[in-house]
Amino acid sequence: MKRALLVIAGVLLGLGAGELLARAFGPEFAVVFRDSVEPSDDPVLVYTLRPDSPDGKLRISSAGLRDREFERPKPPGVFRIAAIGDSITYANGNARQNGWAKRLEAMIAARAPSQGLRVEVLNFGIPGYDVTQVAERLRTVGLSFQPDVVVYGYALNDPQGTSVEAQAIATLREAHEGDTRSGAGRWLAHSRLFLLARQVGARRSNREVLHAEPPRDPAYEAQKSGDRARYFRTLHTEGEGAARLAAGLDALAGIAREHALPVLVVIFPLFGDQGGEGPEALADVHRLVADAAAQRGFATLDLLPAYGAASRALGSDLSVDFMHPNRIGHRVAAVAILDWMCRTRWLPEQAIDCARDVVLEPEDAAIEETLRDVAPSDAGASAVAKPTPTP
């Protein structure tokens, strides 16, 4: 009996030591996609950005923003703009400082009144989010930073209910967790040693798992097939896509009313020419989105004219791919948004002095000159209260 107890004690001691070693030196077993995307406990969000994960030479913030750290609660003398949206707002394919949100922040700072409010633009964008997730992200994370105004960078795939990120997270979770989500497996899942043994036995890395079951984006599939105009038009006018668009905008409107938050919806076009169907082929979809946003009391800005003028005048590529602006494309968006804000006097005088002389960077000066005669749409502007700083 004593010998059996000693054997059991030895086994337990060995397992305990193995567990400590596995925790100290073993691999990370969290389900993570592309280093920075992890599952969310919120069933609407499905996934989120992993706090403190790598972002080039920088890191995702402790609050899960592709941005610097911001104080909570908001300090006195600060006016905050919440930039919400998907991978365009996140600035896929660009360094974070080159995204439209950070360019807008820099340009507003250059026009700051001598004695006024410091303006901060916080980037809440997450790749792959649909319109309902964008609204939920504002509700669950954005509001805690006490924004004074919201700018939604709307992409034409925002009514789409599936994303590469969501598919990848679901596939990885199934591969790595498997039978650990119920019964005894749920307890064993807390053991790093068990997970290590399980993974070694499975011999499947994240890359191998996703290579076997690669996630697919319907928007990119439509682009490849040459059927993108029909896809995006159908997405906005029929079935689940149209319902999702309405539900997401309704959710955003509810948040805006409850917290007295003015919202500007900025509509980004597709890029490139496909079989003679340029971005203008979806002008009717842009009008549909603008009308739906205005009906809910949002201000709207359609960037289709701005990008058309910039593309013709600048003689440079404006996109990373057919969905995402490149560095110059993000500058075009930021200049157009700032111009709209100044024309409509949408921001309080304490936050920006639009008449202030500013020495522009050459690229911004060229873009500003290009867009000088492009009057932005001001649909919905009169229906929205002007932003006022929150205490």
* CATH number, position 249: 3.40.50.1110
Is 15 part of any domain?
yes
Q: Exposed, middle or buried by CB within 10 Å (0-12, 13-18, 19+), for 224?
A: exposed
Residue 26 and residue 94 in one domain: no
74 lies in some domain: yes
Clarify whether residues 95 and 210 are in a common domain. Answer: no
Residue that finishes a domain, picked among 184, 200, 216: 216
Q: What DSSP line would sit under 284-322, residue for residue?
A: HHHHHHHHHHHHTT-EEEE-HHHHHHHHHHH-S--BSSS
Percent of the chain that is helix, strand, coil (3-state, to 5): 50, 10, 40
Pair 266, 250 in one domain: yes
Q: How many CB atoms lie within 10 A of CB 354?
A: 15
3-state SS assignment for residue 252? helix
Instruction: Judge if 157 and 235 occupy the same domain.
Output: yes
**341: exposed, middle or buried (C-beta count within 10 Å: 0-12, 13-18, 19+)?**
buried
Residues in the chain: 391
Domain count along the chain: 2
Beta-sheet strand order (sheet of 263-267):
118-123, 78-85, 149-154, 263-267, 299-302
pLDDT number for residue 385: 53
Same domain, 133 and 260: yes
Same domain, 91 and 133: yes
Place of tokens 């030479």: 57
Q: Answer yes or no: do 314 and 332 share one domain.
A: yes
Rounded to whole angstroms, the Cα distance separating 107 from 352 reads 10
Write the CB contacts of 236 (distance below 8 Å, at least 6 apart in sequence). Answer: 156, 159, 242, 245, 285, 288, 289
In a domain, 391, yes or no: no
Can you give the pLDDT of all 391 residues of the chain as single tens digits? Answer: 666 555 565 555 665 665 565 445 545 556 788 889 999 999 999 999 999 999 999 999 999 999 999 999 999 999 999 999 999 999 999 999 999 999 999 999 999 998 899 999 999 999 999 999 999 999 999 999 999 999 999 999 999 999 999 999 998 877 766 555 555 555 555 565 565 565 554 445 677 777 777 889 999 999 999 899 999 999 999 999 999 999 999 999 999 999 999 999 999 999 987 666 788 999 999 999 999 999 999 999 999 999 999 998 988 899 999 999 999 999 999 999 999 999 999 999 999 999 988 888 888 888 988 888 775 544 444 444 566 666 5
**Dihedral sign of CA atoms 299, 363, 65, 247 in order:** positive
In this structure, the answer to whether residues 171 and 311 fall within a common structural domain is no
| Structural domain that includes position 367 | 61-163+222-383
